[in-house]
A and B are shown apart, each in its own frame.
Chain A
Amino acid sequence: MLRQEEGSRAVAESVALCRPKVISAYPISPQTHIVEHLSDLVRTTDLSPCEYLMVESEFAAMSAAIGASAAGARTYTATASQGLLYMAEALYNASGLGLPIVMTIANRAIGAPINIWNDHSDSMSQRDSGWIQLYAESNQEALDMHIQAFRIAERLSLPVMVCMDGFILTHAYDEVDIPDQKAVDDFLPPFEPRQVLDPAEPVTIGAMVGPEAFFEVKYLAHAKQMQALDVIPEVAQRFAIDFGRPSGGLLREYRTEGAETIIVALGSVLGSIEDVIDEMRQAGIQVGALGIKSFRPFPLEEVREALTGASRVVVLEKALAVGRGGIVSTDVHEALHGTHIRCNTVIAGLGGRSITRDSLHGLLERAGRDELEPLSFLDLKTELVEHELERAHRGTPSGPHEQNILNEIGVVAARPH
C-alpha cells in the first residue's frame, strides 16, 4: 500500500511484518523512532507474540538478542553510532556463534567531538565484525532490505545489519509501498534455527576453542559470507518477483554505460549523485554511478565488472580511516587491481556536513580533468584546520580543538553549511 511515511516508521512496520519474536533495544538518536513504533505495536498486540525488552545498554541489547536468537526466536534490534561501538564485543560474538539477528543501523558519526548527524563511521568501524552489511539508498529500499535481511540471515545463519542514513532517511517523510502481511509471510518462511537451546536436545553453545579448531570455525564465517554473494542477489531477485520492484542486491549501476568517470558510493547520497549525473549527462559528460548495496560481503568481481570500461573511478566515502584515508576505496582498489583505471578517494559528509549537488558537480568536473588528488576531503574548511594546526604547533597549551574551531567560525553550535 502506498503511503507517505517517515523512514523510521516504515522500517518499523516492515520489521513487524517479519514477525520478530524478540526485540531488544536501547535508545540512541537517530534510531529511536524505529524502536518506539515497534514498542507501540507490541503493546497494542498488533505484533504478537513478541517480547520487547527495554534493556539498560546497547551491550545488553545485543546480548539479549544473542540469548533470544539462540533460544529459537526471530530477533531484531536497532542502534547507531556510540551504541554500535558499545555493543562491539557482542557483535563479534553474535556472528561467531552464527546467530541470524537483524539490526538496523541509523548511521551516525562517532565522537569525540560528540555529533548526532549522519555519516558512516559507525557501521564502517564494524566492517570486520562478521556481520553482513547492507546499505539502503532510500526509505523504500530500507524497508524492503529488512524483509530481505531476515531471509538472508536465516538462510545463512549469519547476522545482518541494514544501514540507513540517520536523519536523512530515518526522519524523512517519503512515499513508500508497505507490503501486506500475506506477501511477506509467503516470502519469509518461519524461523527454523540451525542451532537452538532446547532442553530436549541439550547442546553446548559457545564452548572454548583452542588453536586446533579456532581457525576453521572462523573460516566458516568467511565461507558463509562468500555464499552470501550468491544468496543476496537470489533473495533480491525473488523479492523483485514477489513484490514487483527491484531492491537490495549486491550493487546498483546508474548510467554506467559508456561512462568515463564512475562515482562509487553507499547509501542515500546516491540520490544526489544520480541527479548530478543526469545533469552532466545532459551536458554531454559521460559519467555514471555505482551504488554498493552489500559492503560485507564485498562483491569484488561484480564491482570490477561494473567499473571496467571507465577510465577513472571516484570513491565517495562518508567515513575516514584516520591515518590512512578511505575504507571502501581500499576494497575498490583491490577490485581494480591489474587494470589501468585511476581510482581517487574522496572523504565527504562527515558529521552531517552536507554533500551538495554543487560540490558533487565540482568534484566530478575536477575528476574529469584528472585534477583530483588520490585522497581529498570534499568541502573541508582547510583554513580552519591550518589555523588550528598552527596554534597547536606554537607549543603552548592551545585548548580543545572543537572549541577553538567553533570560536573561529563564530558559532557555539552547529549551523547549516
Chain B
Amino acid sequence: MPYQEIKLYQAGTFVAGNRLLDPDQRSVQARMERSNTLTSGHRACQGCGEALGARYVLDAAMRAADGELIATNATGCLEVFSTPYPESSWQLAWIHSLFGNAPAVATGVAAALKARGRDDVRVIGQGGDGGTLDIGFACLSGMFERNDDVLFVCYDNEAYMNTGVQRSGATPPAARTANTKPVGGTAGNEFGKGKNAPLIAMAHEIPYVATATVAELRDLEAKVERAMEMRGARYIHVFVPCPLGWGSASRDTIRIARLVKETGIFPVFEAEDGQVTSVSKIRRRVPVEEYLKLQRRYAHLFGDPPQTEVIARIQERADRNIRNFGLLAGADEGGDLPGSAADVAGDTPGQDDPSRTAEQETNLMRLMASSPHGPQ
C-alpha cells in the first residue's frame, strides 16, 4: 500500500492539534484549569482578533504567574468591549487609566508590588497599536529603558478601530482607513511612513521581544510563557485582524493572520537582549495578493484596472522581510538570522573580522535601516 507522509500544514491550520501532543505540551486554552481571564459575554465583534489574542495571552500569563497577575490596559476596543459598567469580563485585577499611559501605570503597579514585598505578583500591560506605538510610545519607551518588570503586549490591528478606523503609525501602505481613503488619485495609506515597534523595542535591548499572530496561538502562548520566565521589560507584538476595520469576513480572521506570515508581510520572530534568536519560517510561500484580496481595505488595488505597481511594492516589502529575517524554510541552516553572528559577518562568512564586535552593535541599526517603515 503506497504510503504518503502527512505534513501538518496539509491539515489546513498549520497547527498541531492538541490531541497529537503530550498532555504537558497542550495549550493553556485546552486545559480544564484555564483561568478564562477575559471571560465570555464581552462585546467584541464577531471574529475579533484582539479578543482572541488577549484571551490566549492572559490565560497563558495567568498560568505562568500561578494566578498572581495584575493587568493595566490602555483605552481602546479591548477596554471598551470588556468593561461597560458594571459588567466586567475581567477575571483578574485590572486597571484602565488613560489611552497613552498603560505602560507607565504598569510601571507604577510593579514598583508598588516591589516596595510592598510582593514580587510574586506579576504585571502585564496591554493596548492596541494606537495606544502602544502612537500616543503611548513615550511611556512604552520609558518603561523599556528603565527595564521595569512589566510584560507589555500590543494587539496590533493596524489602525484606530475604536474611533472608527483612522490611520495609526502601524497602518500599512496602501490600506484604506477613514483618513487614508483611496480618493483624489491616491492609493490609500502612503508608502514610506509608519514605524516598526518590535524593532524599536529591540533597540532598547530589553530582555525579550517577540511577534506573533492569532493564527498560531500555541506559538503565542509559548512566547508569553517564555516572557513570563524572565524579569524586566518584555514586549510581545501580536498581529490581530479586525473584520470591521479591514472589511474582512469574520470567518477569515485566522486565515488572514496565517497569510500575513506566509507572505512575509509580518515576520514572526523572537529576540533577546536586542538580538533576534529565532524566526518562524514560512511553510508555504504565497504572493501578497492572497493576503490582500481577503480585505476590503485593499479593494481599490484590485479594481479595473488593478493597481499592479502598488501590489508589486507591497510584494517587494514582503520579499525584503523574507531576506532580512531569513523567513524561508531552510534558510536557518545558514544561520543568517537577523542579529545572529553569521548575519553580522555579512558577506564575509568565516572570516575573522576584527570589527565584528562593533558591527554587532550596529546590526540592529542595519536591520532597522533596511526595514524602516514596519514589517508591512
Contacts and interface: CB of A to CB of B under 8 A. Distances in A.
A202 B98 contact: no
Interface stretch (A68-76, A226-234, A283-291): A68-76
A41 interface: no
A373 to B, nearest CB: 43
B64 interface: no
A67 B72 contact: yes
Contacts of B107: 24, 53, 55, 60, 63-64, 67
A50 B111 CA distance: 8
Given A202-B93, A205-B94, A207-B84, A72 B146 contact: no
A75 B108 contact: yes
B133 interface: no
B142 A51 contact: no
Contact of B80 (A89, A90, A201, A208): A208
Nearest to B107: A64
Given A21-B112, A55-B142, A64 B121 contact: no
Contact of B139 (A59, A202, A203): A59
Contact of A64 (B85, B111, B138, B145): B111
Contacts of A11: none
Interface residues of B, number: 45
B87 to A, nearest CB: 8
Interface in B115-145: 115-117, 121, 138-139, 141-142, 145
A56 B142 contact: yes
Interface residues of A, number: 43
A64 B108 contact: yes
B114 A198 contact: no
Interface in A74-105: 75, 89-90, 93, 97
B266 to A, nearest CB: 29
A275 to B, nearest CB: 44
B101 A63 contact: yes
B93 A203 contact: yes
Contacts of A202: 90-94
Main SS of chain B's interface residues?
Answer: mixed
Interface string B27-71: 000000000000000000000000000000000000000011110
A59 B101 contact: yes
A410 interface: no
A71 B80 contact: no
B83 A204 contact: yes
Interface in A173-231: 197-199, 201-210, 213
26 contacts: A22-B108, A22-B112, A49-B116, A51-B114, A57-B139, A60-B104, A63-B98, A65-B108, A66-B95, A67-B105, A67-B107, A68-B112, A71-B112, A71-B113, A72-B112, A90-B97, A197-B70, A197-B93, A199-B121, A202-B91, A202-B94, A203-B93, A206-B73, A206-B83, A210-B84, A210-B85
- Identify the 8 closest CB pairs spanning chains A and B, nearest first: A67-B108, A56-B142, A73-B112, A63-B101, A64-B108, A63-B104, A71-B112, A206-B96
Interface of A: 21-22, 24, 49-51, 53-57, 59-60, 63-73, 75, 89-90, 93, 97, 197-199, 201-210, 213
Interface of B: 67-70, 72-73, 79-80, 83-86, 88, 90-98, 100-101, 104-117, 121, 138-139, 141-142, 145-146
